[in-house]
Chains A and B, each alone.
Chain A
């Protein structure tokens, strides 16, 4: 499956990545190669087969809907690139 440079740039935008022109070139070649390899799977008859998304066999455990606090606000904000003691600060979102 040949993946065009335009397609690579489309996908990059979805993934919030900016690729240099050289990267786009290299990536579209490598991705085409890898995707072509993955075409192999079409050889397998999967009609009627239920997809396996996770190997767990136990049912999802639930807990009571009760408020718990594990961490202090200070701790959580410590790694923030920009914060005001209460919030994470980001560039303006709404115009």
Chain B
């Protein structure tokens, strides 16, 4: 079997048994990157030399049984700081930025023996749902090179889907792990807010952002989540709640029929989904029923307000978070400015792309005097109501099942000129970020009209990632095994 088709756990175990060396693993993945990157554009920086020399060092040391990711390649979304390795957030303003510290999630991956292979492409500053907003390149969907991989973690999802790496770390503020995972036919998990440290996660919407794993198997998601989750002193929003042993939990018997699966009517409305999404996701619910699952119809009454609520809050937070890009301490600085004001204005105007500028301006507007109460405060109130909808719903069920996106991966260029249309596709993902809930997206079929993956989403109460993983594993076992994308299988 191809080394690059193996899962992270299979790779780690094969290395531990001495069947392959880490050098061979890294070389195989570098080769896969080289043979697919020209078509995909998933990566912004490839750490070939660093990865190979680390591999050699590690091979000399020999397998370390207590390191969960020993010898496993990992691709890191370029929104996470990596010491000594360029970190750009796919923005011109940070095109020359080399951090002097690792993000906590990155540090934990390295500590566990993971090998940093590359930094992946994304929408600039995580603002987008297609990876078309990158200042540097447009990543293609491995299933159809004329279509988007989703966003903002499009590079990560495409990379894992195309077997460039078994694992990736992405970030999710309004769906940015779950939607690209669904679009590329891989698995993505957004943890509960506070489950994973945001130290070194370059901030977009601080009350919404989370780092999370992307992989091709549920066991691998559990593995990576277990490595990065847990309290961090350096992030005051990180939670002291104990981390479950996700990998062990997946070894225990679990019966999907014993839990209640909530089906929110507002997420499954007639005519609300693309033909292929309707067919695959609807078919999935039928399959669940046939398997004897308990499907509980319920309501999340304020679903229609989630997108507006989300965008007001995230743009407000973004306008504040991006105020630090001023040409003073890091990043580019516009040359020839005659005074401080000109330096700020020129640096930012030339450094930020149009979507970023749009969101900064909107965010500044909704926070400005006279509008703060009507927009930002109002949105925060609706946010609480949306959170309460979920609290009510979870009294009737254990997990909630929903589509990930109302649309299949769209064509590159199709939605980019109409920002509002793009925002509206975030309807099923943004509510979780607003309420701080964990969610997993996994592929459950291929479209008939267009042969691209379609994913399903499960949502759980706070800190119930273990339950999500158990449900996902059952689905993975019983319902659908996704083949590799054309760019891999040829």
Q: Which of A27, A37, A54, A79 contacts B420 (CB 8 A)?
A: A37
Known: A34-B420, A71-B100, A91-B337. A79 touches B382 (CB 8 A): no
A23 x B354 contact (CB < 8 A): yes
B311 x A44 contact (CB < 8 A): no
Instruction: Check if B481 is an interface residue, CB within 8 A of chain A.
Output: no
Known: A18-B349, A38-B312, A40-B304. A71 touches B385 (CB 8 A): no
Question: Which of B233-241, B251-259, B399-407 lies at the interface?
Answer: B233-241
A61 x B236 contact (CB < 8 A): yes
Interface residues of A in 37-83 (CB under 8 A from B): 37-38, 40-44, 46, 49-58, 60-61, 63, 70-71, 75-76, 78-82
Question: Which of B59-67, B340-348, B446-454 lies at the interface?
Answer: B340-348
What 1/0 mask marks residues of chain A from 11 to 52 whose CB sits below 8 Å from any chain B CB?
Answer: 110111111000100010011011101101111101001111
A11 x B308 contact (CB < 8 A): no
A44 x B193 contact (CB < 8 A): no
Nearest A-chain residue to B330, judged by Cβ: A79
Q: How far is the CA of A42 from the CA of B305 in the complex (A)?
A: 10
Q: How far is the CB of A93 from chain B (nearest CB, A)?
A: 6
- Chain A residue contacts of B349, Cβ below 8 A: 17-19
- Chain A residue contacts of B354, Cβ below 8 A: 23
Q: How far is the CB of A41 from chain B (nearest CB, A)?
A: 5
- Chain B residue contacts of A91, Cβ below 8 A: 337-340, 342-343
Q: Which of A11, A43, A81 contacts B332 (CB 8 A)?
A: A81
Instruction: Check if B108 is an interface residue, CB within 8 A of chain A.
Output: no
Known: A11-B368, A91-B338. A55 touches B387 (CB 8 A): yes
What are 15 A-B contacts defined by CB distance under 8 Å? A8-B361, A14-B368, A17-B348, A17-B349, A17-B357, A17-B360, A18-B346, A41-B379, A44-B385, A46-B381, A46-B382, A49-B385, A56-B194, A79-B331, A81-B327
Excluding A15-B364, A41-B379, 7 further A-B contacts by CB distance (< 8 Å) are A15-B361, A23-B354, A31-B358, A31-B362, A42-B378, A54-B193, A80-B328
**Nearest 10 CB-CB pairs, A to B?**
A55-B436, A51-B380, A81-B333, A52-B384, A79-B330, A46-B381, A75-B100, A54-B207, A49-B381, A16-B344
